[in-house]
Chain A
Amino acid sequence: MRRFLLIFIPYAWLLALFLIPFAIVLKISLSDVALARPPYAPQLDLSQGWEGLRAFFAGLDFDNFTFLTTDDLYWKAYLSSVKIAVISTVLTLLVGYPIAYGMVQAPDRWRPTLMMLVILPFWTSFLIRVYAWKGILANEGLLNQALMWLGIISEPLTILNTNTAVYIGIVYTYLPFMILPIYAALEKLDGSLLEAAEDLGCSRLSAFWLVTIPLSRQGIVAGSFLVFIPALGEFVIPELLGGSRTLMIGKVLYEEFFSNRDWPVASAVAIILLAILVIPIILFQRNEQKQREAEG
């Protein structure tokens, strides 16, 4: 009995506040928009018994999903979200790998401090870290001032409200998620393997390519998914740093729901976003599993 209660409490909580809400999204994505409160039809009316249930299921259809394929705003938004997420993941990897590598090479007594320096931004407000770039990237902002003072440019660059600003924002906010798994992988790397490679005539650079990179692969994969998955559904960064032409699906969903008040389409947008995310999530889980097996 006690065991039942132990399992029941967290189970019931998650059912009520995770699974059922999700089922509601699924249901509304199959409903039609209606001028009512709440603004969609059909409504499930259990008081009418079986007839009501049948009428309810008869009212569901895939119209919203067909609509998403006909209006090119949506598939363009999905494509551009995937593009922005891929590019910023690659950029984060390029920035993050040398930092993780430097941390591993650093003297032991520096490690705790370096580690804390990577983790500290993670505890700082995400919103504030994105906001910080607004003042830097603006036309009259500090970056342009610095570049003009150095004589590199004569006209201010337009960076804020473009996709470039979104890339910078994503790289900046998700960098710790890339550094930590790569650091963990590199730290376990057996140094004698590199010595062996060099003894056998490898240059340092080719030893790095042939030994270090392949052996840190799992860290690279884990870090990339940790950046890619949240970046795909990102809302705050494109809203604050991107321009009106930056199309990302998180933004479309938010506007569809709050500005257009089209709940069924917003729900259908959410369902497709999730369907796109399933593939990277499964790949990520598999990578984690492999890592656990390698360790266990």
Chain B
Amino acid sequence: MRRFSWFNATSLTLGFAFLYLPMLILVIYSFNESQLVTVWAGFSTKWYGELMRNEAFLDAAWVTLRVAVISSTIATILGTLAAYVLIRAGRFAGRTLFSGMIYAPLVMPEVITGLSLLLLFIGIGLDRGIVTIILAHTTFAMCYVSVVVSSRLVSFDRSLEEAALDLGCTPFEAFRLVTLPIIAPAVISGWLLAFTLSLDDLVIASFTAGPSATTLPIKIFSAVRLGVSPEINALSTIMIGIVTVGVITFSLISKSQAVRREAEERAAERPA
């Protein structure tokens, strides 16, 4: 029994206005001529030009992108492995500890994760830089990946794997030819999640980054601590734009795939 009342309409309108107005304002003011971000002084794209000439930001963006691609790829491999072990490997010594270590980082405050990793890197004498950020990001991202992938592994029909084994597949072939294609959407979502988390992370990166490598969030943070700047608005607009296009494209692709799959299933059900 659904009734879409004026109350529902108002709460949706106000709710989404609250979610989107601040970002919209940010985007609008990135095209502001004035240095003062609260006074409108006419349309200009000069802050984008300034941004493109800012070597420090470009360097940081390049570091961030490399860290995100490498760490999310390693995290996806490790996280998928971890999920497979958790769901399919049965009992083994220390399984409880293993699942604890998968779930704990998800709820661990970032400041503690950052602090503990920094103390480890200092303890073993590893110089802080791009490698330490990658190690840190891989560790917390693999836990997110393994949660996403294990929820898919739980829900799929195990007899498919068993059939492949009965028909003479080795366990590895069964994984590659049967399991992997089925869990592929979850693996891809896991990678995207890991990638975004890495791009976004400030706290853990600021503990594990060294003078040789600074990420974009660290740069943004030290700039906005002092106040609002139109250059950061321009940068934010670019980032919001990329994410919006990415999310919409991804959801359109997965929607059309779902439609195709349904059509195929219907075709398969029809008697020949």
Q: Which residues of A contact B (CB under 8 A)?
A: 2-3, 6-7, 9-11, 13-15, 17-22, 24-25, 28, 38, 95-96, 98-99, 101-107, 112, 114, 116-121, 123-129, 131-136, 138, 140-142, 145, 172, 175, 191-192, 194-195, 229-230, 232-233, 235-236, 239-240, 250, 253-254, 257, 263, 266-267, 270, 273-274, 277, 281, 284-285
Contact = CB atoms under 8 A, between A and B. Distances in A.
Contacts of B112: 25, 233, 253, 270, 273-274
B263 interface: no
Interface of B: 1-5, 7-9, 11-12, 15-16, 18-20, 22-23, 25-26, 29, 37-38, 78-79, 81-82, 84-85, 89, 92, 94, 97-98, 101-105, 107-112, 115-117, 119-120, 122-123, 135-136, 138-139, 142, 146, 171-172, 196, 199-200, 202-203, 217, 220-221, 224-225, 227-228, 232, 236, 239-240, 243-244, 246-248, 251, 255
B109 A124 contact: no
B19 A121 contact: yes
| Most B CB within 10 A of own CB, among A6, A9, A172 | A6
A132 B26 contact: yes
Given A10-B78, A14-B98, A125-B200, 5 more contacts: A14-B82, A102-B9, A102-B11, A116-B248, A135-B26
Contacts of B8: 98, 101-102, 105-106
Nearest to A114: B12
14 contacts: A20-B120, A98-B8, A102-B12, A105-B2, A105-B3, A121-B19, A123-B246, A125-B243, A128-B240, A192-B1, A239-B225, A250-B111, A253-B111, A257-B115
- The 10 lowest CB-CB distance pairs between A and B, nearest first, are A233-B109, A98-B11, A21-B116, A99-B15, A10-B82, A102-B8, A132-B22, A191-B1, A21-B120, A102-B12
A18 B251 CA distance: 34
Given A99-B12, A127-B221, A195 B22 contact: no
A22 B107 contact: no
Contacts of A129: 22-23
Contacts of B5: 105
A202 B94 CA distance: 54
